[in-house]
Amino acid sequence: MTSVRAAAMGLLLVVCVCVTGCGSSTTLAPAAPQAASTTQGASSTATGTSAPATTTAAPRPRPAPRPPRPRGPSPGSLPQTDQVPSAATAQFHAHMAALWKGMTTGSLEPALPAFFPEGAYTQLKAIASPQGDFTGRLEADYRLDLLAAHALLGAHAANARLIDVVVPSGYAHWVPPGVCDNSVGYYETPNSRLVYREDGQIRSLGVASMISWRGVWYVIHLGAILRNGYGGVVDDPESGTGTPGSSSTC
């Protein structure tokens, strides 16, 4: 009788253990590890203990692709042509956008694509040191004129929007070699207008002179061709679109 009761108690104990620890379960497939997350390892079948936690590192982001570099030689390293420049090309619009960026930021570097190439200037000028004249005079004046235009735009310069560029093609003319210490010829057009909107008002300012290289317009004098003293100049700022005028320049 005692052995039967003991056996029954043992069976009851097994049933209790099974009810509390061996209930119905659903086997889940192990979840795939996620980036930058900590996951617990599956139970070890050999020891019945949990494997130590493992950390999966986030994948390193790929660097952004670099913009393609222009192919071929720079325009300034190529010889001049007698191609008539146009203000209706994508390249010209890109140059004017660069010029406007320099004005709104007061910085030279963004506006350099619109400026006459140094290599072209060294071919153009029959003077002792065209490189020195380019950096010491032309580029220096360009920087000062950009700063002056930026000051004119004022505190809301970043909100000013370029809406039109008026190039007086009727005033464009060919400047032959031998004029103004030039060894090669080029087209020149004076007094173009940059028309912009700022604070709800239409305003404009001038570009004193643009000249061509290989059929492309470039700024050579922004605020003034001739200037008195050292300082930036804004060419003919006006309310409204303004009116381009003719001038005899090199």
Q: Above 60 in pLDDT, residue 213?
A: yes
The tens digit of pLDDT for each residue in 108-135 reads 999 999 999 999 999 999 999 999 999 9
pTM, to two decimals: 0.71
C-alpha closest to that of 96 among 205, 245, 242, 243: 205
- Tell me whether residue 143 is in a domain: yes
- Tell me whether residue 141 is in a domain: yes
Mean pLDDT of 223-231: 90
* In contact, 221 and 187? CB cutoff 8 Å: no
* In contact, 184 and 80? CB cutoff 8 Å: yes
- Tell me whether residue 6 is in a domain: no
Q: Above 70 in pLDDT, residue 34?
A: no
Owning domain of residue 136? 76-238
Domain count, the chain: 1
- Tell me whether residue 112 is in a domain: yes
Give the chain's mean pLDDT.
79
The number of beta carbons lying within 10 Å of the beta carbon of residue 27 is: 4
